[in-house]
Copies of this chain bind each other. A is one copy, B any other.
Amino acid sequence: MKTINRLPITDGYKMPAEYEEHSCSLFLWPERRDIWRNGARPVQSAITKLITTVSKYEKVIVGVTSSQFMNAKKSLPENVQLFEVSYDDIWIRDTGPTFIKNGNNICGVDWTFNAWGGIAEGSYFPWNLDELLPQKVLEWFSADRYKSSLVVEGGAFHVDGEGTFIAIKECILNANRNPNLTLAKAEKVFSDYLGITKFIWLNKGLHLEENNGHIDNMCSFLKPGEVVMAWTNNKNDPQYEISKDAYEILSNATDSKGRKLVVHKLILPQALYITEDESSGIEYSQFAIPRLKGDRLPASYINFYFVNGGVIIPKFGCEEDKIAYQQFIKFFPSREIVQIDSREFLIGGGGIHCLVQQVPK
């Protein structure tokens, strides 16, 4: 791995869409007791199911700390490859590199990470191990690195692989990330690093989501020219106005090829909250924000993940699960749809899509 002091665009690199073929998927193994309940055993069990499922579709590589190596090895299926690495928590979507591609060459963008908002507004402190994660992952792949000083997480943007980008202003332009950033400057960075030619900006993210608006809870591409977004018909839910505004923007948007977007509405689960039992299983520490009884969980079926030949979607244990499943069956007639219990992930602040980083073929 070497750090290249040019812009990826000058070297012909672009970010492929998640629905393009992967060479593998990357995860990290959970262990923090001040974020994950009951010594992280329930979330270890949940992520084992998720990883096992993904490993049926493509190669999976899982980073694990030294102290958890044997536990992860025993828990995970034999075809999953482990590597030792240190990290502050497991959200490799946000803390890992973003892989970009030029022909058969793969490189990585190493964004700047501040734990979703820095010391004052972020989710944990410190994040020094997360900061090194992209370099370590790129070393593992012998892939070169482009460094960006933009504070942004991988879950904050989606691309269609043809030059179109969707993100949420509330997150990218937040003063807790990039205090003096303008929209024009942000667009210049994403053009230079991801090969973007057309930007679509939503205003606000999922209601009460702690990341200040990650697109991967609000809207995703199904394929070029077609998006799906989180929707509620409940006008009393604060989410209603947010979704309505997003729908209007998306319905009037065109993509990099000049296509008017087809916009699908995906059901949101009913409001879900952390229980007393769940909250009491989490150790108190000064290093992570508390996760309290009654906190709303950031549940969204938009937080799904493409694998080669399939789509992995969340299940939250509520009645909307079945409706969402049926919607996905219609969205993707040629992909297998697998629904995975995701409540444990929500307690730690994210979902399936936040837990994984794809490496393009």
CB within 8 Å of B: which residues of A? 1-2, 66, 69-70, 73, 78, 81-86, 129, 132, 135-136, 139-140, 142
Could you give 20 example pairs across A and B, Cβ below 8 Å?
A1-B81, A2-B78, A66-B85, A66-B86, A66-B129, A66-B132, A70-B132, A81-B139, A81-B142, A82-B136, A82-B139, A83-B83, A83-B84, A83-B136, A83-B139, A83-B140, A84-B84, A84-B85, A84-B86, A84-B136
Chain B residue at minimum C-beta to C-beta distance from A69: B132
Across chains A and B, which 4 residue pairs bring their CB atoms closest together, nearest first?
A66-B86, A82-B139, A2-B78, A84-B85
Bound complex: CA of A142 vs CA of B81, how far in Å?
7
Contacts of A69 in B (CB 8 A): 132, 135-136
Bound complex: CA of A139 vs CA of B82, how far in Å?
6
Bound complex: CA of A86 vs CA of B86, how far in Å?
10
Nearest-Cβ distance from residue A212 to partner chain B, whole angstroms: 29
With A2-B78, A70-B132 given, name 16 new contacts (CB 8 A): A1-B82, A66-B85, A66-B132, A69-B135, A69-B136, A73-B135, A81-B142, A82-B136, A82-B139, A83-B84, A83-B139, A83-B140, A84-B84, A84-B85, A84-B86, A84-B136
Bound complex: CA of A333 vs CA of B247, how far in Å?
76
Contacts of A132 in B (CB 8 A): 66, 69-70
Nearest-Cβ distance from residue A78 to partner chain B, whole angstroms: 5
Bound complex: CA of A236 vs CA of B23, how far in Å?
64
Bound complex: CA of A140 vs CA of B82, how far in Å?
7
Chain B residue at minimum C-beta to C-beta distance from A141: B81
Bound complex: CA of A343 vs CA of B142, how far in Å?
32
Bound complex: CA of A83 vs CA of B142, how far in Å?
10
Bound complex: CA of A361 vs CA of B168, how far in Å?
50
Chain B residue at minimum C-beta to C-beta distance from A144: B78
Bound complex: CA of A70 vs CA of B83, how far in Å?
18
Chain B residue at minimum C-beta to C-beta distance from A67: B86
Contacts of A85 in B (CB 8 A): 66, 84
Bound complex: CA of A340 vs CA of B129, how far in Å?
35
Bound complex: CA of A83 vs CA of B129, how far in Å?
14
Nearest-Cβ distance from residue A6 to partner chain B, whole angstroms: 16
Bound complex: CA of A78 vs CA of B138, how far in Å?
13
Contacts of A78 in B (CB 8 A): 2
Bound complex: CA of A227 vs CA of B177, how far in Å?
64
Contacts of A82 in B (CB 8 A): 1, 136, 139
Chain B residue at minimum C-beta to C-beta distance from A142: B81
Bound complex: CA of A73 vs CA of B70, how far in Å?
27
Contacts of A142 in B (CB 8 A): 81
Nearest-Cβ distance from residue A139 to partner chain B, whole angstroms: 5
Nearest-Cβ distance from residue A134 to partner chain B, whole angstroms: 12
